[in-house]
Every structure is written in C-alpha cells, then in structure tokens.
Amino acid sequence: MTFEGACHPNWSKSDFAVVRGSAALWLDGSRDYATIGRRRTDATRPPNGKPQGQRAPMEPSCLLMASAALLLASRLLMPRPGARPEIEGYRQFLWELNRLFCSLWHGLDSTSMAPLPERGPAILIANHTSGLDPSLLQATSRRVLGFLIAREFYEHRVFHPICRILGCIPVNRDGHDLAAVRAALLALKAGRVVPIFPEGRINPTSGRTILEPKPGVAFIVLRARVPVIPAFIWGTPATNRIVRALVTPSRAHVIYGPPIDPSALDVDGPVDRERLAAVADQLMDAIRSLQARALGGESVREPGAVATHDPDRLPRRTEERAGALSGDRAALRGA
C-alpha cells in the first residue's frame, strides 16, 4: 500500500506534502521548518505562480515562546487555594498607603518586619504608647492584624470601616467582656493574627514606661496555645488622643523579639488568678527586654507604671501581682 492509500481518501496533494514534510522533520531532525512551509506553499501555488493567500506556518521558536507565556500567565492569574496572601487587592493598596504615611509623617524606623508565620494563628503583644500604635504594627506586618479595640472607637463612624476591613474585635472597657475573649479565640482558631496590648490602655510616655499587664492576655494565650510575638514601640507622640497622635509628626520605632513558645509559659497549678498573673508577668518580661535593648537604660517613673530598668523591680515577683488579683471584684477590675 502506498503512502497516499494509507491516508484519508479526501486529502489533497498539498496535505500529503505537509504530512511527508512533518514526518521527515520528526524522524530525521535535519530539515528546516521553513523549508516545509515553502513545500506547502509550492504545492498549493496555482499554475500562474501566484500564491492563493496561504500563510506560512508559525516558527517553532515563536510557538514555544507563546506556549510558555500562556503557561506563566495561567500560573500567575489562576487562584491557588490556601496560598493566597492576606494582604492583596484593596488591602494591599491600603497597606502601602499606611506604610507611606508612617514612614513620611512619623519617620517609622523598623529594623525588620514582624516575625509572624506566613500562615496560621499567632498573637502579637506590644506596649501601648498612643493611638498610632496599630498603624505602626500593621505597617511592619505582612499579615492582617485584627486588633482588640475599645468598642467606642470600633463603632465610631470614622474608624468603623477600617476596623471592619481589618477584622478588629470590639472590647468593653469594664474588663469583663467575655464575648470579646471568645471572639479572639475564634479568630485564632480560624488562623488569624490577633494583636493585644497587655497594658489595656494607652500609656502616653513614648515607651519610657510600661504599665502593669491585665490578666486577660494571659487567659487568651493559655487557651489558644499559639506562638506569641513580642514588640516594643517608642518615639510616638506623647498623647492619649487618637487624632492628635495621628497628625502630630514623630520619630516612631518598632522592634520585634523572637516568638515565644506557649509551652514555655506554663506554670504549675490550675488556671487561677495567680497563674494568670505569672503568665502575664512572663509576657511583659519579653516586652521589657526589648525596651532595655532599645532605650539603653532610660526610664521615667510615673504613677501606675513600672520603671522597668530598675533592678529592684525587674523582674517583679509573682506574689506581688497575684496579690493585686486575689481581692474582690473591685480589686480585679482595677488590676
């Protein structure tokens, strides 16, 4: 049987020429693809010698580059479940805008980004110096930070849209908001990052002093069992007013410490007030060590604050903190 007899009966002579040329190219590897194109053009050329509008076949190099471009585009554009970053799209725009604001207006100086895991839950703890602190922490973090924020600020018409975008958790100031604690634990269970200010309120001393920690942070850490990343903020405007802190130029700084293993915070005994006091102390010790490294021994004593570089007060005794927590409800509320 001839070659033409083995092919489709409706094929023309030009089709046979293309098949012969293609077979020769793959088997022999020595024929040029342009030659095959010329064969097809010659085979379809009419007797008058003018071509009938036949296109020359695409060069193999062009076809290879086009295929590679399509594969690369599909890899970049196709969504990959579980691998998409938290900060993208409009959040990426807001993140860049916030970082630009912190860098230009507040001279943000951070040696590195927050050592947060790329995925999964984590708790970020820091001292609370001003209303600028959330912006500084978010500017140095590549994860969305869902802050625990006072309810009156969360529900404010100016801050509420941003709080919704970041997934902030509103907290009552009475110190007994169990709903906020449950919301924080659910956020951590969902793999989010929850920042907490252990002091519980703004201490407008630009980081020179640190207040006593609240026991709520220890309860969340012990229940969540996720990595804890400490941070220290200083150089911010010395005011407890949110808007004034944002519009007042400053030279703000943020440094981060290594992640804390939650198993290292265990204290023998049941989860009672004394144990919460001990764990809260350990968490604040991580922030104090960053303060000592950043300020080099500088400290200022203020009522209700701890001059953390005083050797007589660092570290504080667990019994001292436990005594403040072991009283009645009024004592607990003031702790």
Q: For 239-249, b where at least 16 C-beta lie within 10 A, e where not — what string?
A: beebeebeebe
Task: Based on the fold, state whether residues 306 and 157 are members of the same structural domain.
Answer: yes
Same domain membership, residue 176 and residue 44: no
Q: Is residue 82 in some structural domain?
A: no
Going by pLDDT thresholds of 50, 70 and 90, the confidence category of residue 218 is very high
> From CA 302, how far away is CA 319, in angstroms rounded?
22
Output the pLDDT for position 330.
Answer: 37
Q: Give the count of domains, the chain.
A: 2
pLDDT band at 154 (very low <50, low <70, confident <90, very high): confident
Cis peptide before 259 (omega within 30 of 0): no
Q: pTM above the 0.85 mark?
A: no
The model's pLDDT over 178-217, given as tens digits with 9 standing for 90+, comes to: 888 999 999 999 999 999 999 988 999 999 999 999 888 9
Closest CA relative to residue 275, chosen from 239, 245, 327, 318: 318
pLDDT surpasses 80 at 56: no
Structure tokens at 158: 């100016």
Is it the case that residue 314 has pLDDT exceeding 90? no
Closest CA to 37 of 18, 24, 23: 18
Over the stretch 4-14, which tens digit does the pLDDT of each residue have?
Answer: 555 545 555 55
Place of tokens 């951070």: 110
Same domain assignment for residues 158 and 286: yes
pLDDT of the residue at 305: 47
- Listed residue (311, 246, 323, 236) closest to 277, CA to CA: 323
Domain of 185 in residue numbering reads as 90-334
Residue type, position 8, single letter = H
Domain boundary among 12, 43, 77: 77
Pair 133, 52 in one domain: no
d(CA 193, CA 120): 8
Q: Identify whether residues 259 and 321 lie together within a single domain.
A: yes
Please check whether residues 56 and 99 belong to one and the same domain.
no
Q: What pLDDT sits at residue 313?
A: 40
CA 287 to chain centre: 21
**What confidence score (pLDDT) does residue 58 get?**
56
**Which contiguous run of DSSP H or E holds residue 149?**
strand 148-150
Same domain, yes or no: 194 and 163: yes
